[in-house]
């Protein structure tokens, strides 16, 4: 099924029957990706006396509890409430769900012991007012990212100036295949988060950051329509399911 969309007086066609899911599955075992020094998420049947919420144990339905952290256990979308003293909910921040998007692949630069995605690298592939969202695939892009244990790995991160430039390009929604846009251990500075949200001076309450995505190598760099869906949690972040549709 094809649909036509318009953005800044330009029409695009997308095939809605060909979605490209760039989210990570959440699993209740050690094959789940993990960050921020957490254990694996848990998906377990409810137990109440002799009752076990599992069909193979005699119940009429499967009836599971799920224990997880959205920031550390999979693809999640967060609002500025992630870094503010005041409460802000991603459910209230994200009110639209389709965005023109550019997918880029970047191999972070080596700076001492760090790997950094720089402003210069972003400037090579992104110009102001092109699209509403950007998806960053870091290179090399191994399938092991789907189950990687990120804690204490000093993962690559986004340079503060790069995050600021992305904001200045008019990007409202930033997606990346790392646990955070910031350095794992940065003494709480959160420079890229703050630069992207323009916090605290001109805070962008309607902008979001989505982390821990996974973009398969078969998905080519280029222009897409993004469908960014979240669960209706009143929380700073929610598990999310970003899906791309190739623009024709």
Question: SS in 3 state form for the chain?
Answer: CEEEEEECCEEEEEECCCCEECCCCCCCCCCCCECCCCCCCEEEECEECCEECCHHHCCCCCCEEEECCCCCCCCEEECHHHCCCCCCCHHHHCCCCEEEEEEEEECCEEECCEEEECHHHHHHHCCCCCCCEEEEEECCCCHHHHHCECCCCCCCEECHHHHHHHHHCCCCEEEECCCCCCCCCCCCCCHHHHHHHCCCCCCCCCCEEEECCCCCCCCCCEEEEEEEEECCCCCCEEEEEEEEEEEC
Residues contacting 49, CB < 8 A, separation 6+: none
Please indicate, yes or no, if residue 40 is contained in any of the structural domains.
no
CB 165 within 8 A of CB 122: yes
pLDDT per position as a tens digit, 200-241: 999 999 999 999 999 999 999 999 999 999 999 999 999 999
Report whether pLDDT(33) > 90: yes
pLDDT per position as a tens digit, 152-202: 999 999 999 999 999 999 999 999 999 999 999 999 999 999 999 999 999
pTM: 0.97
**Six-digit token pair at 130?**
């092109």
Please indicate, yes or no, if residue 62 is contained in any of the structural domains.
no
Supply the pLDDT for residue 176.
98
Please indicate, yes or no, if residue 74 is contained in any of the structural domains.
yes
Supply the pLDDT for residue 76.
98
- Residues of the domain holding 194: 2-25+70-246
The enclosing domain of 139 has a CATH number of 3.50.30.50
pLDDT per position as a tens digit, 110-155: 999 999 999 999 999 999 999 999 999 999 999 999 999 999 999 9
Please indicate, yes or no, if residue 146 is contained in any of the structural domains.
yes
Supply the pLDDT for residue 246.
95
* Residue 4: C-alpha distances to residues 95, 131, 133, 153, 245 (Å): 21, 16, 19, 43, 12
Chain centre to alpha carbon of residue 46: 30
What's the domain count of the chain?
1
Please indicate, yes or no, if residue 149 is contained in any of the structural domains.
yes
Supply the pLDDT for residue 248.
84
Supply the pLDDT for residue 6.
78
Supply the pLDDT for residue 1.
81
Supply the pLDDT for residue 130.
92
Among candidates 64, 77, 70, which has minimal Cα distance to 176? Answer: 77
Q: What is the mean pLDDT of the chain?
A: 96
Please indicate, yes or no, if residue 64 is contained in any of the structural domains.
no
In b/e form, how buried is each residue of 40-56, taking b as 16+ CB within 10 angstroms? bbeeebeeeeeebbbee
Supply the pLDDT for residue 4.
85
Please indicate, yes or no, if residue 13 is contained in any of the structural domains.
yes
CB 52 within 8 A of CB 58: yes
């Amino acid at each position: 099924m094809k649909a036509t969309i318009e953005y800044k007086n330009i029409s695009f066609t997308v095939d809605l029957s060909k979605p490209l899911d760039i989210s990570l599955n959440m699993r209740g075992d050690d094959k789940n990706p993990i960050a921020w020094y957490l254990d694996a998420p848990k998906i377990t049947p409810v137990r109440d006396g002799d009752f076990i919420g599992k069909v193979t144990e005699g119940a009429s339905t499967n009836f599971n509890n799920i224990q997880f952290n959205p920031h550390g256990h999979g693809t999640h979308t967060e609002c500025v409430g992630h870094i503010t003293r005041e409460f802000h909910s991603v459910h209230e921040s994200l009110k639209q769900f389709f965005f023109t998007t550019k997918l880029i692949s970047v191999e972070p630069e080596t700076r001492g012991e760090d790997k950094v995605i720089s402003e210069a690298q972003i400037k090579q592939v992104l110009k102001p007012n092109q699209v509403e969202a950007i998806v960053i695939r870091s290179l090399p892009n191994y399938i092991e990212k789907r189950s990687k244990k990120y804690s204490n790995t000093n993962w690559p991160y986004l340079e503060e100036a790069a995050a600021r430039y992305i904001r200045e390009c008019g990007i409202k929604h930033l997606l990346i295949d790392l646990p955070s846009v910031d350095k794992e251990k940065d003494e709480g500075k959160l420079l890229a988060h703050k630069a992207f949200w323009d916090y605290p001076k001109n805070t962008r309450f309607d902008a979001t950051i989505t982390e821990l995505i996974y973009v398969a190598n078969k998905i080519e760099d280029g222009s897409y329509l993004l469908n960014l869906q979240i669960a209706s949690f009143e929380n700073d972040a929610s598990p999310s399911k970003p899906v791309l549709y190739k623009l024709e």
